Amino acid sequence: MILFLMSAWALDRVEGADTLALGSTTTANPYATGGITGNPAIIGTEKRYNFGGAFSYGGRGVHWQATAIDSVTSSVAFGMAYSGDRFNPPLTQAELPGWSVAGQEISNLKQTNTVNFALGIPTTDRRFVGGIGGALSFFNNERGGKGTTGNLTAGLAYRPDPRVSIGLTGRNLLPIADPRQERPLEVLGGVWLGELGIAAFSVDGGARIDSSKPLLLATGLELSPSATSALRTGWRYDEGINYISLGAGAGNPDGSIDIGIQAPTNRLTQPIDWTFQLSLRFKAPDINDVRPE
């Protein structure tokens, strides 16, 4: 049985396999695709114009995504993502049927398609960035029916040096109550220290306000044996559960391929409950280099 912790991971989490392997630390990482949903301000701290895609399977269900981030062609940074999830979590108290046949397995299939946007507004040569983002989700739940939901995210980022980045974000800020979908309010801060091609360290910390176990902590370490390769490991504490992660990647500024594995420590002997992810990133063509014949 796939165990999907809906409240722990939220509906619209978007990230690459690189940050999955880093404990899902996206609050202050200036290179993370996950800034689209994790902290919209962080996408404005680094010049980039790229596209990406990812697929994952395991303890967090089946997930797929396509992303785009552009902080080059205009004075602001803009990110978009489409993601989909399909999973079969344990029934909550509200989802239990009025009666059931003894010994009969009750399914709880859920499917969600989400569109996210992020807007980062840089100032002072990208040292300070303010950002706002949002999500619009279309869900189809076997027990709860179909519907549409969404929310807003806002964040701040400060990058005093290319090797130092600090982020602060609030996710799911609107007080929208929908018993069929979990969108818990999150407040997180993070620090990223590093240099591409050498090493990087990241840490996130904060709280999921409406949770019975609100504390959220995560950290990740990346080492680059060469300019085109990376090894990663991370740890995350979320909803009272510890997760460990590993990953590797290969590529250059024009593109990369990454793999990541994340596993709950209380299910290390159950690989079906691990999350396996593969992601791709490639640089968009420079429109200034396009010349008509």
b vs e for 22-46, b when ≥16 Cβ sit within 10 Å of the residue's Cβ? bbbbbbbbbbbbbbbbbbbbbbbbb
pLDDT at 59 over 90: no
pLDDT of residue 199: 97
Tokens found for residue 279: 């992601």
Is residue 99 situated within a structural domain? no
DSSP 134-153: EEEEEEEETTTEEEEEEEEE
- Cβ atoms of 51 and 282 within 8 Å: the answer is yes
CATH number at residue 139: 2.40.160.60
**pTM (2 decimals)?**
0.87
Least confident of 84-88, 89-93, 148-152: 89-93
pLDDT of residue 3: 36
pLDDT at 88 over 70: yes
pLDDT of residue 218: 97
Is residue 1 situated within a structural domain? no
Q: Looking at residues 150-176, what average pLDDT do you find?
A: 94
Q: How many domains does the chain have?
A: 1
How far CA 225 is from CA of 19, 191, 199, 235, 250, in Å, comes to 18, 23, 9, 21, 11
Is residue 62 situated within a structural domain? yes
Q: Looking at residues 236-261, what average pLDDT do you find?
A: 94
pLDDT at 8 over 70: no
Between β-strands 49-58 and 164-171, what pairing exists: parallel, antiparallel or unpaired? unpaired
- Cβ atoms of 63 and 107 within 8 Å: the answer is no
Of 32, 19, 25, 69, nearest in space to 260 by CA: 19
pLDDT at 117 over 60: yes
pLDDT of residue 198: 95
Give the confidence band of 176 by pLDDT, cuts at 50, 70, 90: confident
How far CA 224 is from CA of 56, 194, 195, 219, in Å, comes to 24, 11, 10, 17
CA distance linking residue 72 with residue 123, whole number of Å: 14
pLDDT of residue 97: 65
CA distance linking residue 194 with residue 292, whole number of Å: 41
pLDDT at 61 over 50: yes
The domain of 140 spans 6-90+127-289
Choose from 51-60, 80-89, 127-136 the range with maximum mean pLDDT: 127-136
Choose from 87-96, 107-116, 194-203 the range with maximum mean pLDDT: 194-203
Looking at per-residue pLDDT, the higher value among 88 and 228 belongs to 228
Least confident of 61-75, 181-195, 244-258: 181-195
pLDDT of residue 2: 34
Is residue 113 situated within a structural domain? no
Is residue 57 situated within a structural domain? yes
Is residue 112 situated within a structural domain? no
CA distance linking residue 194 with residue 283, whole number of Å: 22
Is residue 84 situated within a structural domain? yes
Is residue 135 situated within a structural domain? yes
pLDDT of residue 127: 95
pLDDT of residue 210: 79
pLDDT of residue 4: 37
- State whether residue 105 is helix, strand or coil: coil
pLDDT of residue 9: 44
